Amino acid sequence: MRRIKAGIMIYQIREQKKISRKSLSAGLCSAGALTKYESGERIPDGLLFHYFMQRLGMNPEDFAVMLSLKEYEYYTWKETVFEAIQKQEWETVEQLYYSNLAEDRSCNVKIQNQFYLYLSSVLAEKIENNAEKMLRLLRKAVDETVPAYENSGLEAYRLSAFEIGLLALYYYKGGIRHLISEDEVYSKLKSLIDYTIHIITDKQECAKLVPGMVCALLHICHGKMEPVERIFIEEKAVKLLKESGRFYHLPELLRFYTGDLRLIDMEKAHVYEVQYHAFMEVFEDAGYDTAFQPELLFDSRKQIYLLNEYMLSYREIKGMTQLQISEGICAVETYSRMETGKRAPHVKEGEAILERLEIGWGYFRGDLETTDYKAFEYLHQFKEAARKRE
């Protein structure tokens, strides 16, 4: 077996799912650039790789992404931003917004700019209380990677979970602030829910999005929908959370669900009311805010590992010196700078070094080493069966 490279992985999954290069790359890069990534001529950065994998319906959390020190700094900054948003510490969010990392575009111009615009929209609403500016900035954030969405519709794109969440947030914020009509919000959010269930094949990723979008839809269009329709989408979201073993937006979802069940099935409503109060007690005891947090529909925190730390640990495990690793590839001083994180390896020297260290270049999933996409499917099925204790 051979270690699978990022480009080969993207190519095999794309071919397996019969997705065109044009559809996968739309708004992110050119189809020609994607060809170079798939051939191994170029290596996608961590941000771009996550978007590609999500557009392919996969869960990037299953992939440990090895980064340069610069990327790592950006990821940890973004993690801090999301934690502050989750705690609704808006002054902290504002301070982070004015840091140098917020302005940085060295990892990926489009994707970093998209997050910056999203963050700008949060502050426009929470600090400036300017709803029109907030919605305008959200629209710009969407347009970074999903241009001409209104004209072409969802069917023209293979959207990532990040992009779906951002679109859902745009319609929710527009609807709750009465800047987008209720009819449009209803139509768009319903379409996004159906699209997500169809496109995002990984249940964990689906569970992050669908319950939140259902809550967003109910907040704005509750009176527009008949109880039977509301219960149908609520049950779909509850089932998805059960299957995934996750709790995204669960308290708010159960609040809506039990309220609607009281209208048609009091016995079932009682069962879920008991669950609702139990979850509320556990969440509150643990210090979690149980209120609906729409800002976190767009949550791009992912599992990351620092590349230079992997280089150091693997070299020490193999009992090799820096001179032995760098010989015939680069100067030992150059290698030393890579290992301390002061310099990122170029593609060819990086590939040679990691081959010598026996680290899968680019990205890997657990300890799986394969070029056969089917093995990923089997691994996914195994994980699901183990989780369900089947």
- One-letter amino acid at 68 equals S
| pLDDT band, very low/low/confident/very high, at 358 (cuts 50, 70, 90) | confident
- One-letter amino acid at 255 equals R
Pairwise CA distance, residues 363 & 117, whole Å: 28
Collapsed DSSP state (helix, strand, coil) of residue 190: helix
Contact 46, 304 (CB under 8 A): yes
Contact 345, 353 (CB under 8 A): yes
| pLDDT band, very low/low/confident/very high, at 34 (cuts 50, 70, 90) | very high
Crossing angle (nearest 10°) for helices 31-39 and 6-16:
120
Q: Is residue 286 packed enough to be buried (19+ CB in 10 Å), middle (13-18) or exposed (0-12)?
A: exposed
Complete DSSP assignment for 93-110: HHHHHTSHHHH--SS-HH
Pairwise CA distance, residues 38 & 44, whole Å: 9
Q: Is the pLDDT of residue 123 over 90?
A: yes
Q: Are strands 304-306 and 363-364 parallel, antiparallel or unpaired?
A: unpaired
In the chain, % of residues over pLDDT 90: 39
Q: Is the pLDDT of residue 228 over 80?
A: yes
pLDDT score, position 351: 74
| Better pLDDT: 302 or 332 | 332
Pairwise CA distance, residues 186 & 224, whole Å: 8
Determine, yes or no, domain membership for 309: yes
Mean pLDDT, residues 121-148: 94
Domain of 338? 304-361
Of the listed ranges 18-32, 89-103, 110-124, 373-387, the least confidently predicted one is 373-387
Contacts by 86-94 with C-beta closer than 8 Å and gap 24+? Answer: 86/289, 86/293, 86/296, 87/289, 88/289, 88/293, 90/122, 90/123, 90/126, 90/127, 93/119, 93/122, 93/123, 93/126, 94/123, 94/127
Q: Is the pLDDT of residue 61 over 70?
A: no
When divided into structural domains, the chain yields a total of: 1
pLDDT score, position 1: 31
| pLDDT band, very low/low/confident/very high, at 72 (cuts 50, 70, 90) | confident
Determine, yes or no, domain membership for 352: yes
| pLDDT band, very low/low/confident/very high, at 379 (cuts 50, 70, 90) | low
Determine, yes or no, domain membership for 354: yes
* 334 CB-near residues (< 8 Å, 6+ apart): 326, 343, 349
| pTM attached to this predicted model | 0.75
Strand partners, 184: none
Contact 39, 7 (CB under 8 A): yes
pLDDT score, position 361: 45
The pLDDT tens digits for 144-191 are 998 876 766 777 778 888 899 999 999 999 999 999 999 999 999 999
CATH number for position 314: 1.10.260.40
